[in-house]
Structure 1
């Protein structure tokens, strides 16, 4: 059940709060789309039309207000970020707290969504009585199986996929020496999968790990595990590729890796996608992030047995990245104020969305001219033309230097630079660019070894014709 009308009523016009102007997200709020503008994309509907799901990890306590409305509107699968982990549901042996997990499952059912259960057996976020216990193989196997029976049994028939075993490998492909590995040995994974099948015969059972998105030693170890489990008749239905990625480092072998797992006869899912970058992000970084979210989504779409994609939190306000990776963030498709970022539109485009041509990619054109050059410096002029049918109200133009140049002085724009990434923002008096009109600014710069012109520009996050 899609619950279309319920979702539309719950969110109203929230998704239109970031106007698409000149092919870019302006960041200005509005109560409704502007005349002639296309409707904002709904990811869950686009994904369903392509035969996959698009999901997000959630925090149960936040499933209300704007946060809850976006989750219900945009996603057709949700994963509890922490509420189903062992320390949350069984803090002491045989004593359970289901409140958070129940809230997530109840919300999903009320909004016509699938649930990815996460996770039954993991080396991390274990209660102390498990991680610090003195176990024999038999005693820990009993505890593990009892826990799986209790949790998977409670939600029998209500969970679409279970991450039964999470992160069993080290980076070099050897087995992680978790309490389960050291006490039970290699067989703990098969034991856990069998216990999960007994507890919930209809849920699809996955092994999930990170840094296994491309073809490497760790993903090959996972591949060999799945192959062995299949040969033994152990119930395993799928492989989860977490995809906690870094901007500029999406593996080139992602699609091929998905395909080789599919060729083993199992499903594949992208389970925890985020793409982190240094913060604060530049427009050029956000443009690249859009392309990379689109690329990951396309890789899934290209393989018939890729079931879907889950982002690990849809908003930067609910992302784990800043707390773990100092200096990094902005990893999700929405900003901290629940406004869609270019990445959101990249996902939508991969899923087949088009804005109807009112704001196409390339709805701006940039002319870059070096007016004067000497042995260590140069003067350049940049003209930005709005080639769309809507006015641009406030602009930032981003590019990267191909030869390490640096801006030393600018006029008619405020220019900032971080490494090779440059952003020029309007000077206030030239913030508005009417359809067909231009804005021009200039700067002095320094160079050494070469002064090659930039080849790509982005206006408010959208690629321009150069």
Structure 2
């Protein structure tokens, strides 16, 4: 079994677009899946003494990718933001620019500008790009959500979207979040457009289509088959409803008299 390589993702939180912002879930079996394009030669960054004090320097020195979700507004208009981005992170992910509603707001009409800018910026600053996302229940354009398409039509639409997006960035993206948040927090299948209309088989199809669009990529699914694990979100499940009394009990130091 290959050694599992960790990937950490941090977020530079700014929302210049007003889009609903979602944090990516772990792209594994329980949540999603990914295609890792091993043919992409990831940028090599050799940290000097000064760089070793940055997140990027430490990450590069340990063979770890540490990334940030990047909005188009800060990328193009906030030099302080980009200075931190380029100094501290060796991987970037588009916050919204590669999501379906941003890329194809009208059926058949693609807006690549913001996504292309991020990919170009990453290339210029020796950063890898993680593609997010291909099949997701959220941030779908209204024409898709309200189109009342048949299963056959929807299958064709999803296949075309995946092929177009992955094909455009072939060789420029080291990994794709292919199926994102397919399951709810309790482990059950999320009742979204895709499984409702296409059944659970859409997951396997999405992976096949993504691989077909970038044949040089390796399709990886399970850690015991060599998947590089990406830590993109850490959640702590807290049973609800909570109460102020319970919070007080949890916060009170053990040394205090519980009757006070």
Note whether the superposition's TM-score is higher than 0.5.
Answer: yes
Q: Distance in 2 between matches of 1:112 and 1:39?
A: 14
Q: Distance in 2 between matches of 1:130 and 1:165?
A: 17
Which of 55, 58, 75 is equivalent to 2:89? Answer: 75
1:331-410 equivalences in 2 (<5 Å): 402-403=253-254
Matched, 1:46 2:7: no
Gaps of 5+ in 1: 9-37, 205-234, 239-260, 276-399, 406-446, 451-466
Cα deviations by residue, 1:157-196 (Å, 9 ceiling, x for unpaired): 1001100111111233221121111111111011111111
**Aligned-pair CA distance for 1:264:** 4.4
Task: Give the match for residue 150 of structure 1.
Answer: 164
1:35-434 equivalences in 2 (<5 Å): 41-63=53-75, 64-203=78-217, 235=219, 237-238=220-221, 261-272=222-233, 402-403=253-254
Question: Structure 1 residues 39 and 185, CA, compared in 2 at 3 Å: closer, same or farther?
Answer: closer
Q: Distance in 2 between matches of 1:264 and 1:118?
A: 23
- Rg: which structure is higher? 1
User: Between Structure 1 and Structure 2, how many residues are aligned?
Assistant: 202
Q: Distance in 2 between matches of 1:128 and 1:88?
A: 11
Contact 2:54 2:88 in 1 (8 A): yes
Contact 1:159 1:203 in 2 (8 A): no
If asked which structure has higher relative contact order (CA below 8 Å, sep 6+), I would say 2
Question: Structure 1 residues 40 and 191, CA, compared in 2 at 3 Å: closer, same or farther?
Answer: closer
Question: Structure 1 residues 39 and 122, CA, compared in 2 at 3 Å: closer, same or farther?
Answer: closer
Q: Distance in 1 between matches of 2:253 and 2:79?
A: 45
Cα deviations by residue, 1:135-162 (Å, 9 ceiling, x for unpaired): 2222111000111111111111100110
Question: Structure 1 residues 272 and 112, CA, compared in 2 at 3 Å: closer, same or farther?
Answer: farther
Gaps of 5+ in 2: 1-42, 237-250
Contact 1:57 1:272 in 2 (8 A): no
**Aligned-pair CA distance for 1:449:** 4.5
Q: Secondary structure at the match of 1:181?
A: helix
TM-score (norm 1): 0.40
Cα deviations by residue, 1:25-59 (Å, 9 ceiling, x for unpaired): xxxxxxxxxxxxx9872112211221221111111
**Aligned-pair CA distance for 1:263:** 2.2
**Aligned-pair CA distance for 1:78:** 0.5
Q: Distance in 2 between matches of 1:51 and 1:152?
A: 25
Q: Secondary structure at the match of 2:206?
A: helix
Structure with a larger share of its residues in helix: 2
Q: Secondary structure at the match of 1:170?
A: coil
Q: Distance in 2 between matches of 1:448 and 1:187?
A: 54
**Aligned-pair CA distance for 1:202:** 3.7
**Aligned-pair CA distance for 1:404:** 7.5
TM-score (norm 2): 0.70
Q: Distance in 2 between matches of 1:273 and 1:109?
A: 28
Cα deviations by residue, 1:240-294 (Å, 9 ceiling, x for unpaired): xxxxxxxxxxxxxxxxxxxxx522442211124699xxxxxxxxxxxxxxxxxxx
Contact 2:122 2:128 in 1 (8 A): yes
Q: Secondary structure at the match of 2:232?
A: strand
Contact 1:3 1:111 in 2 (8 A): no
Question: Structure 1 residues 272 and 58, CA, compared in 2 at 3 Å: closer, same or farther?
Answer: farther
Q: Relative to structure 2, which stretch is displaced further, 92-101 or 262-271?
A: 262-271
Cα deviations by residue, 1:357-388 (Å, 9 ceiling, x for unpaired): xxxxxxxxxxxxxxxxxxxxxxxxxxxxxxxx
